[in-house]
Structure 1
Amino acid sequence: MWFSLLSCCVLACIALPTNAVDEPKIEILPNTDPLKVLEGGKLEITCRYSTKAEKPNPNSLIIKRLGDRQGDIANAVKLTNLGFDTHRSTSPGATQFDWTIITLKVSKSGSKLTIQDTGRYYCIYEDVYKFFQKDVDVFRVVSPSEVVYNETSSKLSCVPEFSTETTAKDYTLSWSKNGSQSLGDSLKDRYSLEGDMDQNLVISKPGRKWGDLGRYQCVFTFTPSQQTVTNYVDLIGPPKVNEKSFDPSKNYVQGDNLILKCPVTGYPFPTVSWLRDGVMLNAGDRVVINDEGSVLNGKLTIYSLEFSDKGTYKCMANSTYEGFQSAHATTIVRVKDRLAALWPFLGIVAEVIILCIIIFIYEKRRGKQMEDEADSPDYPANTQDHRTDEVRQRNVRT
């Protein structure tokens, strides 16, 4: 009797934690609460339900939203009725004793995600497990996302606007350029931050350095969760070609390779078109057009130049921003024969040869003329020296 009673106690002690462990589990991801999302960005929530039930119903797992966080959950609305995209999956266990996981993922992005999506989200299975909830704060930045540079100063703004349902609005704001480049590295001492939360970035004389153009980031860091949300503001400017870096003319020899790079700047990054004598160049067997850094089609290569490749080449830079005009630079390409360098030398050699022939003919004719004169009968063989006779006569008279 005592043995039976002891056995029952042991079995009861074993069964209690086992049942506790086998209780269904439900969770909502991500773990950050409240979750901060930028309007026009992407909101993604995952609800995961784990159970050891033999036949769980995947369709019983739902996510609802309640706009008024203090309201009754009974008034919450399914996200499938609010324009969210859904993806449901089930991972059944190998046996009936393994966990079965049902996953429901909902998402909304782009223009669909607005500040009205702020609220309290619930992860529910068969209207039983509704204690898993998450607050989502969707906010917008009311400042323009694009600013056309001004030669005197350009002002970039990042002013947030929150829903009335948002409870935690504590944040700090920081600025950077191109993802990680600090403002001190790129702008030196030509910038200042204005506003209570450094919401305005003022750049003085951005035209002085064309590299000031580009994408800037204002990063919100919310406390106490330390969640960060990044907003982008573009400082844009028209295409500009540095003609000093583009030689006005180039000389090549037949068979050489021609390489031209268009020294263009601007943001958005321009697209380059190449023309020869006003005719558009297209990639072919010998013509290769590649991107040069961030500039599309910024590099032109022509292999094994021919005489027909000579002409006036132009790189035409166009911006995707409709309000900007195109920019261009030209260079004259001359193609010479491979043996062109030998022609001056051959000319000198030919002149020397002709001069030698002339001298040779002249000397030959002159020698023959002298021989003919020597053989002539009129040529005096002996000539009397009269000066000797005069000297003798003078001596006699003396």
Structure 2
Amino acid sequence: MDIEMKRQAGFLLALLFLANFLTIQADSIDYVGSSNALLGVTSWEIRCRGLKPSDKVEWTRNGESISQEIAAGEIMQYDVDAESMINATSTQLKHQGEYRCIKNSKYSQDLKVHSDSDTEIPKTPLPPPVSGDISKGLSANQSELIYAFTEKYLVLPCNVASGTPRDNITWTHNNATLKETETLKFSADKTKLNITKGYEENMGHYTCSAGSGMSTQIMKVVPHPIVKLPSPDTNVVEGEKLRLTCEVTPELGAEVNWIFVNTTYTKSTERVNITSDGKSSTFTVSQIQQDDRGNVTCSVVFARTSNNFTFEMKTFLRVTNKFAALWPFLGICAEVIVLCAIILVYEKKRNKAELEESDTDQSPDTKPTPNKGSEVRQRK
């Protein structure tokens, strides 16, 4: 009986501890990775996280399977534990679309493909002539053309009259006469400057003119603008406040839009508060609810760049139940109570069994019989 009771108690304890570790979570699949890619230039990568063992991974784009592209090696797929990843080393136009790792998953990841034509340099009116050191005070000169080095190369135009002799066109870089290098190349007619590498020494101020009496065109080349969020994942407890800060490159006329729960916010509302200081934009939402779960996007248009360069970053908002920390504590308390009850029941039954066994040992039927022969001898 003792062995059987011990087995039952051990089995119950094992079930209790197992139940404590097997916590069922209702979190859905989420995605992180690229949201923008340049046609034929940049690579891209999308990760699908939070997969369960029962989930059947089948990547789709706009609802159509991409298994043939994966089989052909155009897109690579890697599956590890609860995560699946796809990537491509060279972006193609057909790669643009909405990606899902499971057909019926609630969330998805959008990938936008940009081509060189997206960054074609527009014809812009020439600024007025200037003289002196152009590196002084140009940050406040609104007629200055700003070009962001966002691609594999950059072309600066010199808008001179058609038929201007090549020798009459003069280029300068940071107040010095510009000479061709491996990364700075003139076109045949010298009306364009090709910058093939975004090196630091290639950044700065450029001018182009076609002789005395002609307007001097001023251009400024800056590195790839910065759009930065703290993390690709953000956790907020239900009922508390969400606060995100999106850092941007200053002095480029950054116009920040926030996309939250499929709604674009450009200014504060009753629930949403947006503040900006030129270097960053802070997005605050009060009383976060479970329905707010999903991507929060910081979309920035750099209005002072020649092509109104646009870039965006996303963070995935996870909303934690406000009682989430209470359930493990209650589970531990329940385990302790059940364990104590099992021990008490077991000890009570064991004591009762020992008592019955002791009473049986002391019954009259088992008392020793006196030796009559010895009693007779004592009487003599």
Which TM-score band applies after superposition, normalised by the shorter structure? 0.3 to 0.5
Q: Larger RCO: Structure 1 or Structure 2 (Cα < 8 Å, ≥ 6 residues apart)?
A: 2
- Give me the TM-score of the superposition, normalised by structure 2: 0.40
Relative to total residues, which structure has the larger strand share, 1 or 2? Answer: 1
User: In terms of Rg, which structure is larger?
Assistant: 1
